[in-house]
Each structure stands twice: as C-alpha cells, then as structure tokens.
Chain A
C-alpha cells in the first residue's frame, strides 16, 4: 500500500540558511509525488510535483525537490530560507480508491531571525 513518511516533525533553521525537508515514500509503481505547504490558518498550497522525467523538480517560492528512486525519497530543498517560509510542509502521494491522496504527517518549519 502507498505511504509517505516525513521523519522530522519540527525543524528549525536560521533565516538565510539552507533547508532540506525529508520525505520517504512507499509506492507500487512509478510514483507521483507532491509537496504542499500550509501557512498558519490557511489551506494547502502545491509547491511542486513529480510525475516523471527530470528527477530535479523546480517549484514555486524558490523550492526544489529531488526524486531518488534508489532511496525512495523526495526531499524538499531551498538554498536560503526567508521568515515567510515558516509553515507546515506535507509530502503526498496519490492513494488508492479509499484515499484520493495520502499525506505525510507534516514537518513544521520554524525560522530563527
């Protein structure tokens, strides 16, 4: 069955520092992978998605993610974080009939000034 694991519940980085959020997936075939962001009091916004092709995917707000089949990972990166990046980030895969999409538990990102 499909699943997504985000090992880090909280991550704190200083403003201007680089960021990497981890995501590991379990998927039967070639995976489709998503990263969403949820700012406080808001719904989710799609940052980027991977379907096939180039394993390095560029998204909005300066984020990118790299698909690594050998490691079953789809980690999200940003070279330099801004205070406005403080939010919760969710990795996701399409589900089966009982789940349109399966989300990880989320990683909450805190930014130090």
Chain B
C-alpha cells in the first residue's frame, strides 16, 4: 500500500502571497489531519477532515483553511502569508477520526516565506 504523499515537497513564497498544499492519504483512510512543525513551537495541530467534513480545528488564524475531497485527498491553504508561516507542514491519515487512531504521516511540505 502506498503511503501518505504530499506535494509539493518544497515551496518558496513571499509575504502576502497565498499557498495551497496537497495531501493524498493511504487508500481507505478517511481522516486527514494537518500539522505545522517549527523549531520554536514544535508540532501543532491545524485541523482534521473526515469524510469531507472538518472535525476539529487547532488554534490557528482563519488564514489557514483546508478541505477534503470525496476521494479523501485534502488540501490546505494559507492566505496572506507571513514570515512566521515558514514551517514544515505535515499531513497524516488514519482510518477513523478518533484521537487514538494510529496516524500515518507524509514526508511534509517545507514552506519558506521570504
């Protein structure tokens, strides 16, 4: 079974731009979660989608949004980029939406905001 894939792997943007990241979960997994990883804040939960519905959301501004398609693929969008948005964005998929479900992580998208 193919693992979680994320595209692109690297992105460079400038302040004020917007960006869209993509995540394809493991086949059969209906839950996709997104995380931001920075040296200062560590790993922080952004949001989770399950069957095309946002199930929960972390403490991030509204500039961060996402969606999930009927094939469970997910995208996250960040509008009006700020320097502090530079981070590794990780996507994880799981069968269910509970916090106890094993999550399988993709390799991440490294976003640099200049």
Contacts and interface: CB of A to CB of B under 8 A. Distances in A.
A43 B59 contact: no
* Interface bracket on A: 20 to 34
A36 B103 CA distance: 10
Interface in A87-110: 90, 94-95, 97-106
Task: Summarize A's interface: helix, strand, loop or mixed.
Answer: loop
A46 interface: yes
* Interface bracket on B: 20 to 34
A99 B45 contact: yes
A75 to B, nearest CB: 19
A100 B105 contact: no
B99 A100 contact: yes
Interface of B: 4, 33, 42-43, 45, 48, 56-59, 90, 92, 98-100, 102-108
23 contacts: A32-B100, A41-B107, A43-B4, A43-B90, A43-B107, A43-B108, A44-B43, A44-B90, A44-B103, A45-B105, A46-B103, A46-B104, A90-B43, A94-B99, A94-B100, A99-B58, A100-B45, A100-B99, A100-B103, A101-B33, A101-B103, A103-B42, A105-B42
